[in-house]
Amino acid sequence: MGSAKIDFLVEQLEQLVAEGHSALVFSQFTGFLGIVRSHLDSAGIAYSYLDGSVNSDGRARAIEDFGAGTKQVFLISLKAGGFGLNLTTADYCFLCDPWWSPAAEAQAVDRAHRIGQVRPVSVYRLVAENTIEEKVVALQDRKRALFAAVVDDGDLFGSAITASDIRELLG
């Protein structure tokens, strides 16, 4: 069974690698990353891989290979790669599935947006239509709006926040 998301991702990665770009590919699902790995293997695209099962030596090797340009694609599980990585070699970032927390996604993207980054970084959020992913993105948008109302505007009660909004934010 084919997947439009995987087909799109692999097509983009083939083009980017051919043009000399480097890309981070994040997913919260290691099974999804496994499928992407087999597609990249079939396409002849070398990649680094990092999830929670990779030991510290493997992690260091994956980071080194990507940073040195030996591998132009880095597949990373969102939880394993959300912190402690400086991957400014990348100028493209793909978020393959939305995470409940917009902050977790932002932290992942920040792996490429670091001191030392000399190129613009393009970020693609891949969201399948008519799926739970659209609902997660809508929840993220509400969380961002609520955060902005509280932090940026300082006007928690003037922005008509409902009990449901607070439950969703804390849930």
Q: What would the pLDDT profile of 156-165 be if each residue is shown by its tens digit?
A: 555 555 677 6
CATH 3.40.50.300 is the classification of domain 4-125: yes
- Please state the domain extents for the chain: 4-125, 132-170
Angle, CA of 45, 26 and 74, to the nearest 5°: 35
Pick the residue with more confidence: 1 or 21?
Answer: 21
Residue 39 backbone dihedrals phi, psi, to 5 degrees: -70, -40
Q: What SS3 state is found at 48?
A: strand
Contacts of 74 (CB under 8 A, 6+ apart): 22, 23, 24, 25, 47, 48, 49, 50, 62, 66, 87, 90
Written in H, E and C, the secondary structure of 113-162 is: CCCCCCCCCEEEECCCCCCHHHHHHHHHHHHHHHHHHHHHCCCCHHHCCC
**Each residue's pLDDT tens digit, 74-125:** 999 987 765 567 788 889 999 998 887 777 777 877 777 776 677 888 999 8
26: pLDDT confidence band, cut at 50, 70 and 90?
very high
Structure tokens at 168: 């969703």
Structure tokens at 10: 């692999």
Q: Write the DSSP symbol of residue 35.
A: H
Question: pTM higher than 0.85, yes or no?
Answer: no
Q: Could you tell me if 87 and 112 are in contact, meaning their C-beta atoms sit under 8 angstroms apart? A: yes
Q: How far apart are CA 155 and CA 148, in angstroms?
A: 9
